[in-house]
Amino acid sequence: MAAPQATTTPREKIGIGLIVVSGIILAETYWQYRDAWAVFHDLPPLVIAFLAAVGGAVGGWLVAKSPATRLAAMVGGALCNFGGLMSFQIFFGSSGRLSSGERLFGFGIGALPGIIVAAAWLYRIEKKRKAAPPTG
């Protein structure tokens, strides 16, 4: 019989939502409407990528369950959103010719380093926690 899964807290849901909104939704909105919306008109892509990195870091902090994993989650979230937006710029650029699947694939490729760094860091934290002698 499978072990019951832990429920997702509202804090974790907000964190995941913040990562998604500050990542792929911000990228889509920026590159589709940057000429039409005054708020995006003068912002360079690097500023948008830094805004996304901040949103990813805050979202990662909200998703982390323990204080020991918060820094890893913050770095992973920031790298995911920053790398995703910069790869989005490279693939999408100023043309609107890519389909939504191609744009999501490009964002995923850019987010991959952040996912790998966070996963490796969290694996190392968990390995150290299991290797530590029990206190008591």
Note the pLDDT tens digit of each residue in 77-107.
999 888 888 887 777 765 566 677 777 788 8
Residue 120, amino acid:
A
Residue 65 to residue 51: CA distance in whole angstroms:
24
CB atoms within 10 A of CB 50: 15
Q: What pLDDT digit, counting tens, does each position of 27-44 carry?
A: 778 777 777 777 777 778
- For residue 118, is it within any domain? yes
Taking the model in full, what pTM does it have?
0.79
Give me the chain's average pLDDT, please: 82
Residue 123 to residue 43: CA distance in whole angstroms:
37
Mean pLDDT is lowest, of 7-11, 74-78, 100-104, 129-133, for 100-104
What residue numbers bound the domain in which 119 lies? 11-130
- For residue 2, is it within any domain? no
- For residue 66, is it within any domain? yes
- For residue 3, is it within any domain? no
Asked if residue 83 lies in contact with residue 110, where contact means CB atoms within 8 angstroms, the answer is: yes
- The candidate with the shortest Cα–Cα distance to 16, out of 61, 51, 46, is 61
Residue 57 to residue 70: CA distance in whole angstroms:
9
> What is the number of domains present in the chain?
1
